Amino acid sequence: MVLAAFALASGPAFAGFQYLGSASCETCHKEIYNSWKKSIHAKTFDLLPPKVRADKKKEASLEPGNDYRKDKLCMKCHVTGWGAGGYSFENPSDAWKGVGCESCHGPAEVYKSIHLQDSERRERKLKQAGLFKPLDKSGPGTCPGCHYDIDSPYKSRDPGRERNWADPKLRETYHIITSKK
């Protein structure tokens, strides 16, 4: 069964399905894609060089002068598809830099063609093909996979600083939310 074909790996990555890159989503989701391109998620890789956001690095007990672009612990949450056919030190393509569509929604290889179909069982087929809806109310979604990951320097937040991932105030973090399917 297709559901057995994938398993959560480190960070929100899936074994077995190929990553296509965020540009593969742009054709059908132009407004969302353009919104995402301006978001902090799209630019997470750009936060890793020395001296960038030094105050945040100090807050996380990181050395602001270090270059974290070669730190494997950072890669799983600052690039798309780390260790699963996306970004790697051997394939450092710009297409995989940042938290892309597939970081939160899963690798698109199988679900992209189903996504384009209009059938009565479309939603079930999409789920079976690995499409995640990060803010689905049935569970914690994919956000904690990075934001509360054991290796994240930000995993422990002070009381009162917890995040409600569905809060519209956080939408610039990822992309706009549309009511369209």
106 in a structural domain: yes
- Full-model pTM: 0.75
- Residue pLDDT tens, the chain, 181 long: 333 333 333 334 455 788 999 999 998 889 989 989 988 899 999 999 999 999 989 888 899 999 999 999 999 999 999 988 899 999 899 999 999 999 988 888 888 888 788 777 888 888 888 787 776 655 556 777 787 777 777 666 555 556 665 666 655 566 666 655 4
Instruction: Answer whether residue 178 is part of any domain.
Output: no
CATH of the domain at 32: 1.10.1130.10
Q: Is residue 31 part of a domain?
A: yes
Residue 91's domain comprises: 2-173
Residue 179 lies in a domain: no
User: Which residues, at least 6 apart from 114, have a Cβ–Cβ distance to it below 8 Å?
Assistant: 122, 125, 126, 129, 131
Task: Name the nearest CA neighbour of 23 among 118, 86, 96.
Answer: 96
